[in-house]
A and B are shown apart, each in its own frame.
Chain A
Amino acid sequence: MSIEWYIVLSSLLFAVGAMGILIRRSPIVILLCLELMLNAGNLALVAFSRMVGNQDGQVFAVIVMVVAACEVVIGLGLIVAIYRRKLPLDVDELRTLRG
C-alpha cells in the first residue's frame, strides 16, 4: 500500500475526531475525541517516518503517546473533581469562565 492511503486515512480520522468535539457536549466524550485526533496524528507521523525510511518519526509518536496519557489523566481528574462538586457534566453548562 502506498503511503498516500495512510495519510488520507489519518486526515479522515482527524476530521472525524474534530467533528466529534464540535458535536458532543459530555466532557468524557470530548476527551475520547481528542484521543482520536492524537491517534490520527500518530498515524501520520509513523506513515511519514516509513516514507522517509527514518525512525525519528516513530520516536516522536512515542512522545505523543506520553503526552496523550498525561492529558487523559488530567482530564479525567478534572471530570472526577467536577462530579464531586455536583456540577453538571456538560461543557455548555460549565461556562463560568466565558467572557
Chain B
Amino acid sequence: MEEILFFAAALGALGGAIGVVLMRNPLFGVLALVVHLFSLAILFLLLTAAFIAAAQVVVYAGAVMVLYVFVVAYVGDEHEPAWEPIPGQRFLAPLLGAALFVELSIAVLGSSLLALDTDGPDVAPGFGDPAEIGKLLLERFLLAFEASSILLLLAAVGAVVLAARRRDLDGGDVGTPSERFAPKASEEGAPAAPPTGGPS
C-alpha cells in the first residue's frame, strides 16, 4: 500500500515539475505546480510529517498559488520570443540538469549514511503532529520563529512598496532600458513613438 502511494505521488510530483518547465502558458505552469504541491503533501504524510503536509496544502497550494494566479492574470500570458541569446542553450540546459542529478545522486548515495536504505526508526505516535512541531517552534527554535515572523513582515511591506503605483514612473511611456537611458533627441512636439518591446 505504501509503495503504491509513494509511486503515485512521486509520479504526480515529477509530472507536475516537468509540466512547470515545459508549459508555454504560465497559467498552466501554475496549475502544474499545484499538482506538484499536492503530490508532495502526500509524500510528507508518508514520511509522518502531518503538520508539514497540512501547511503545504494550506499555505502553498492555497495562498501562494492564488497570488500566482492573480499576477499571471494581471500580467497576461506573454509569448517567449524565438531569439536565443546563448546559442544551444535549449540543448545544453537539459544536459546540465541531468549532470546535476547524477552529481546529487552520487553525493547522497556515496555518503555512506547507514540508515539511508532503511525505513527510519520507529517513532512515537505523535511524531510530526502540530502539537509537537508547535512545541519545538515555541521552545527550542523560538529565535528562528521570531526572525521568520519579522522576515514575513518585511516581505509584506517590501511588496507593497515595490508594486505601489508611482505617478512619476507610471504616467508616461518608459520604454525598454536602452530607450529609457538614451539621451532625448527632441523635447518639442508630440510624444515620442510608443515603446517597441513593452507589452501594450
Interface residues of A (CB under 8 A from B): 1-9, 11-20, 22-26, 28-29, 31-33, 35-36, 39, 42-43, 46-47, 49-53, 55-56, 58-59, 61-63, 65-74, 76-81, 83-90, 92-96
Contact = CB atoms under 8 A, between A and B. Distances in A.
B120 A50 contact: yes
B187 interface: no
Contacts of A51: 113, 115-116, 118, 120
A77 B128 contact: no
Contact of B174 (A29, A62, A87): A87
25 contacts: A3-B120, A14-B101, A15-B98, A16-B17, A16-B21, A18-B97, A19-B96, A32-B20, A32-B30, A39-B60, A49-B47, A51-B120, A52-B115, A52-B120, A53-B120, A56-B136, A58-B133, A65-B60, A66-B152, A72-B68, A73-B158, A74-B159, A83-B74, A88-B198, A93-B176
B119 A87 contact: no
6 shortest interchain CB distances as A-B pairs: A19-B97, A11-B104, A77-B162, A70-B155, A15-B101, A22-B93
A2 B80 contact: no
Contact of B14 (A12, A31, A55, A90): A12
Interface in B65-114: 67-68, 71-72, 74-75, 78, 80-81, 83, 85, 89-90, 92-94, 96-98, 100-101, 104-105, 108-109, 113
Contact of B101 (A3, A12, A90): A12
Contacts of B47: 6, 46-47, 49-50
Contacts of B3: 1
Given A67-B148, A81-B163, A92-B85, A20 B13 contact: no
Nearest to A89: B78
Contacts of A86: 173-175, 195, 198-199
B97 A15 contact: yes
B67 A76 contact: yes
B59 interface: yes
Interface in B155-187: 155-156, 158-163, 165, 169-170, 173-177, 181
A49 B25 CA distance: 37
A69 B153 CA distance: 11
Contact of B21 (A24, A58, A87): A24
